[in-house]
Structure 1
Amino acid sequence: MTDAPQDPAPEPLLSTRGLGVVFPGRPGAPPARAVDGVDLDVHRGEIVALVGESGCGKSTLARSLLGLVRPTAGTVRHAGAPLAYDGRSLKAYRSRAQLVLQDPSGALNPRHTVYEAVAEGLRVHRHRGDERGAVTGALARAGLRPPERFLLRYPHELSGGQRQRVVIAGALVLEPELLVADEPVASLDASVRGEILALLLRLRTELGLAALVVTHDLGLAWNIADRVAVMYLGRIVETGPVERVLTAPRHPYTRALLSVLPDAPGEPVVLAGEPPDPTRVPAGCRFHVRCPVLADGRAAAAGVADHCRNRDLPVLPAAPTAAPACHWAAAGGAG
């Protein structure tokens, strides 16, 4: 008796393969390899958290997914089709994929009312339906109820959480499939952060929205994400289901990020050296110059210290996997 054929895996809503973004340096300075060979998938209705320190390339990767930064290598695909970079194609794509920025005050024009802020996307895309109905509907979905109370207000008349909801409403008004949220709660008080995260989860449930949430906070990833991708110096170093990555991390960098959370057991891991510099990517594993496993001799005991210093690692595949981009973990040292 033969096994029944397996259904093919669903096609990602958004995917990258070998994605690279290199920024030219100043005269006499090396270029910055901000994103360096990234494979990443976001499926329909899925929330993926992209986690890492400031300067690791998260925001550049997010903007390249929306066509705001043009990659210098690799591909971005939306619903199976390669992203085209002509003006008309990008405009159509951005009606399906919307960016939510970290600072709602900076994202909103102080001279525009809430109505004008939310309606802007409709006007850019020449929406021909009921503009007022679309605006009030988006405000209601973003949790600003009754929406009529907010239409004529200006940003300075709103709380920080209300301003972030207006930004989210401006993204929702075009009925996108995907939100790319860059540190969406970093500027908010703790109580308001929970409300905005609950809103993103509700939108996923009610509208089937997918989201890529860019954050430095693994605690946020635990509360909202289905999968997590940990980024260091332009590369994804660990990825997989959020529960697996955050309860049984295999990469030393992931472990270090988790160790500084408020409820983490043991002492925080203090990383040596400077934060990642994309103009100075070291040979070998790009984390080795700060890696506590190399510093305390565990990599040497596992026989991989020379590999850590001298042998580059392959790009981690996009598919959910327990494999980290780490010589020591691959040798069984992370168990």
Structure 2
Amino acid sequence: MTGLTLEARDLAVAFLLRGGEVATALDGADLTVRSGEIVALVGESGSGKTTLARALVGLQPPSRGEVLVDGVSLGYRTRDLKPFRRRVQMILQDPAGALNPRHTVYDSVAEGLRLHGLSVNEEQQVAEALAMAGLRPPERLFLRYPHELSGGQRQRVLIAGALALKPDLLIADEPVSSLDASIRGEILALLLKLRAELGLGVLVVTHDLGLAWNIADRTAVMYLGRIVEAGPTEEVVAAPQHPYTQALLSVVPEIDRLEPVVLEGEVPDPTRIPRGCRFHPRCPALASGLAVLVEDACRTVPLPVLPASEGHRAACHLAAARLESEEWSHG
């Protein structure tokens, strides 16, 4: 495995809706994922995280910006996408819906090999992929159908189907959301094992910041089409800078240092982007008066897109003012 770097640069995706409204699902996202690391993309439903994942894997052409593969812009012609998709595999959210009920486990895992026309020992590669996904002995599952499997086994079959192509990166969309707590832990442990043993990179799309805390090297938090905070997971969890991240973190059961925050107001509407900071209509800091010195900026001054970098950063007027104050006091 040679390794791979996948980047989103100023990526935007907009959809024209019935009635002429435009939904801005993604609006200037910068994100980098590399082989050998796990990155979590966190946010509520409607935040744009799945759209970003689909754009990164070539399933959704962007309205603006580009996807870079080892520094080269991704093309969207079939001849460009086919070799790319061998290296970057997407694991869909619902294993029950993603697996064809008429296909055996063997055929489901072998499907990618056949689509790409690879000259390999198919049976051996299918067996190896199932074993890597934790389904042993693999031959016992060859002729079974999805309805004969548990939810955890179906998720592992999806992972095996991706592994059969020997990719550099996996993009996993809510990979454990439909699983029991005990099985969730097993799947997360499997992703960590694949990273350690195969050098795989993994982008995990999730609404659960607690999951990111357990598995990810870096975390990016999305709200209404923008990444609003990003950095090493330990820093994001230990010292969240954005009020939205703080709210998501406050309801993680394993973290009891924060009072639970219930976000008021409507969920994000991609057809109606607010002026200023797009989180300000629901911001607990504004509602409580903690942002009194910057509240005008919060409501009127747009925030720049967060650049892709290794440091901990947030797109927030209050966080910027707090950081400036700390730098001044230490200066």
Shorter-chain TM-score bucket reads over 0.9
Q: Hey, what's the Cα distance between the residues in 1 that align with 2:214 and 2:96?
A: 25
Residue of structure 2 aligned with 1:248, choices 227, 232, 239 = 239
Aligned partner of residue 298 in structure 1, secondary structure = coil
Taking a change above 3 Å as real, the CA distance of residues 297 and 12 of structure 1, as seen in their structure-2 partners, is farther
Q: Hey, what's the Cα distance between the residues in 1 that align with 2:68 and 2:259?
A: 42
The alignment's C-alpha RMSD in Å is 1.3
Counterpart residue number, 1:286? 278
Q: Do residues 295 (structure 1) and 287 (structure 2) align? A: yes
Shift of 1:249: 0.4
- Superposed, 1:1-80 pairs within 5 Å as 13-28=5-20, 30-80=21-71
Residue of structure 2 aligned with 1:193, choices 168, 184, 191 = 184
Counterpart residue number, 1:309? 299
Query: What whole-Å deviation, never above 9, does each CA across 1:140-172 have from its counterpart, x for those lacking one?
Result: 100001101100100111111001000000000
Q: Hey, what's the Cα distance between the residues in 1 that align with 2:288 and 2:310?
A: 30
Q: Hey, what's the Cα distance between the residues in 2 that align with 1:296 and 1:12?
A: 45
Query: What whole-Å deviation, never above 9, does each CA across 1:7-54 have from its counterpart, x for those lacking one?
Result: xxxx971011100000112124x2011010001011221100000000
Q: Do residues 123 (structure 1) and 123 (structure 2) align? A: no
Q: Do residues 208 (structure 1) and 196 (structure 2) align? A: no
Aligned partner of residue 285 in structure 2, secondary structure = helix
- Residue type at the aligned position of 1:129: V
Q: Hey, what's the Cα distance between the residues in 2 that align with 1:271 and 1:128?
A: 53
Counterpart residue number, 1:323? 313
Q: Do residues 82 (structure 1) and 73 (structure 2) align? A: yes
- Residue type at the aligned position of 1:150: L
Residue of structure 1 aligned with 2:172, choices 178, 181, 204 = 181
Shift of 1:81: 1.1
Shift of 1:92: 1.1
Query: What whole-Å deviation, never above 9, does each CA across 1:81-131 have from its counterpart, x for those lacking one?
Result: 110000111111101000001111111001100000000000000011101
- Superposed, 1:252-291 pairs within 5 Å as 252-263=243-254, 264-291=256-283
Counterpart residue number, 1:145? 136
Shift of 1:266: 4.2
- Residue type at the aligned position of 2:163: L
Aligned partner of residue 331 in structure 1, secondary structure = helix
Moved over 4 A (4+): none
Aligned residues: 322
Shift of 1:209: 0.3
Taking a change above 3 Å as real, the CA distance of residues 329 and 36 of structure 1, as seen in their structure-2 partners, is same
- Residue type at the aligned position of 2:19: P
CA contact (8 A) 2:42 2:222 kept: yes
Shift of 1:322: 2.4
Query: What is the TM-score normalised by the length of structure 2?
Result: 0.95
Aligned partner of residue 84 in structure 2, secondary structure = helix
Taking a change above 3 Å as real, the CA distance of residues 174 and 196 of structure 1, as seen in their structure-2 partners, is same
Aligned partner of residue 95 in structure 1, secondary structure = helix
Residue of structure 2 aligned with 1:168, choices 131, 134, 159 = 159
Shift of 1:327: 0.1
CA contact (8 A) 1:183 1:213 kept: yes
Q: Hey, what's the Cα distance between the residues in 1 that align with 2:153 and 2:285?
A: 44
- Residue type at the aligned position of 2:104: T
- Residue type at the aligned position of 1:154: Y
Counterpart residue number, 2:329? none
Q: Hey, what's the Cα distance between the residues in 2 that align with 1:320 and 1:206?
A: 24
Q: Please, which runs of 5 or more residues in structure 2 have no aligned partner?
A: 327-331
Q: Hey, what's the Cα distance between the residues in 2 that align with 1:231 and 1:162?
A: 30
Aligned partner of residue 77 in structure 1, secondary structure = strand
CA contact (8 A) 1:323 1:330 kept: no
Shift of 1:62: 0.3
Counterpart residue number, 1:226? 217
- Residue type at the aligned position of 2:40: A
CA contact (8 A) 2:89 2:162 kept: yes
